[in-house]
Structure 1
């Protein structure tokens, strides 16, 4: 099996190293000092579960890699529309695109039975640019429950979690998902193939939709947001509105708001990826986390007044970052 990781950052390099350890032919697409370190020394993973190193091929040119069986997309979702030149050289007739992203994916309504099947969300797939770059029939979803960070070029600090749930847009368990999942497990990761991944998407999104924008607006950690009575109540309200939107499109995430809050609080003084992007002056990945859910609310008639207010504030902040 041959796998390419497009965007071999903290998550991508971690998965690539695990697959390499399982004997998979792995190719990492990266750039800058991180790429130089990957070429010179491979990937070093520092983890409470045990440190290890792997030496996959690393490059900034997908033409060096050629067609592969699976492409893991490790870039942020707001970079998907421009990913075509990186992905196209990696494709053969059966190549799978495994999207390890937060939020609502561009494929969400693809083959979703019901009145919204085939709907394209402008906030997620503006003008159809993502679908043009990443064909829907190749898509496999991936919900990431691992926390990692790049502690130095070529060095991944694994903080917690090893679960990468995957699933087909049409549901069920496919041979291509099973093949990839078996390799992930052989590399020491958890990779359940979910018959309906959309429920997992909403469970994770319940946290992302609230904590990510609020952390950027307040500069607070997840535990700090939970400790403050006002923001804790705000998070709960945002989660409740999110569950209402999920129900309108047929999803049934089996988790309570209080359980989701407790899980976030246990994370401790953790800065969300959105806050980290803000501190580095990078665009925040909020369209797929927040604007998309507001767009689905418009589509389904759900009332989401709190999500609308936070979305407007976060969008203005993102515009200020872009203009700086």
Structure 2
């Protein structure tokens, strides 16, 4: 099995190191000091499950790698539309793209029977730009339940979780999913093949759609949000509206709001990825988390007043945080 990891940051390098340890031919696509460190010293994984070092190939030029069986996308979803030059040199006729993203994926209605079959969501696939770079028929969905961070260039700190749920958009249990799952498990990770990955997407989204924008707007950790009575009530309202939208488009994930908040509360004073991006001056990954659900609500005719209000504020924050002070958004 030949795998290229495009965007070999904390999650991507962790997956690449695990697959390399399982015997796959792995190529990490990265840049800057992180790339140089991986070329020199390999990927060092520091984990409560045991530290290890893997030495997969690493490059900044995918044309050096050539066609692969799987592309594992470790990029943020807001980079997908521009990923074509990185991904296309890696493709052969049957290459699968395992997209490890939060939120609503660009392939959401691909292969899904019902009134919205093949519908494109402009918030996650503007003008079809993502589908042009990453054809939906190549997509294998992936919901990440692992937490990692780059402690230093070439050094991945694994904090918790080893589960990477994957699944086909058309709900089939395909050979390509089973083969990828087997390699991930051989590398020490959990990788269940889910007949309907959309359930996992919505369950994880319940937390991301609420805690992520609120944490950025309030500069607050998940624990601080849970302990603040009115902020907690806001999270509950956002989650309930999100479940209404999921049901309206045909998905009823088996997760209550109370249980989802309790799980977030156990995480404690953790900064969400959106707050971390804000503090680092990076673009905020809010379209797939929040704008997409508002668009789905419009499509289904579902009222979501709380989601709309938070989306307006978060979108303003995303606009102003990336603009020079005093400039018009």
Matching of residue 115 in structure 1 with residue 137 in structure 2: no
1:147-168: per-residue Cα shift (whole Å, max 9, x none)? 0000000000000000000000
Alignment partners' CA distance in 2, 1:268 and 1:172: 37
1:229-288 per-residue CA deviation (whole Å, 9 max, x = no partner) reads: 000000000000000000011111101000000000001111000000000001100000
1:172: Cα distance to partner? 2.1
Structure 1 Cα separation of the partners of residues 227 and 43 of structure 2: 37
Counterpart in 2 of 1:62? 62
C-alpha separation in 2, matches of 1:252 and 1:191: 22
Match for residue 275 of structure 1? 275
* 1:236 equivalent in structure 2: 236
Structure 2: tracts of 5 or more residues without a match: 325-329
Question: What residue is the counterpart of 1:187 in the other structure?
Answer: 187
TM-score for the superposition, normalised by structure 2: 0.98
- Alignment of 1:96 with 2:96, yes or no, is yes
Return the alpha-carbon distance in structure 1 between the equivalents of residues 46 and 175 of structure 2: 32
Q: CA RMSD in A?
A: 0.4
Equivalences for 1:133-282 in 2 at 5 Å? Answer: 133-282=133-282
Q: What CA deviation, in whole Å up to 9, does each residue of 1:58-83 have, x standing for no partner?
A: 00000000000000000000000000
Indicate yes or no: 2:321 matched with 1:321.
yes
State how far apart, in whole Å, the 2-side matches of 1:59 and 1:24 are. Answer: 17
Q: What TM-score do you get using the length of structure 1 for normalisation?
A: 1.00
Corresponding position: 1:28 with 2:28: yes
Report the Cα distance in structure 1 between the residues aligned to 2:55 and 2:144, rounded to whole angstroms.
23
Deviations 1:90-135 (A, max 9, x none): 0000000000000000000001110011111111000000000001
SS of equivalent to 1:203 = helix
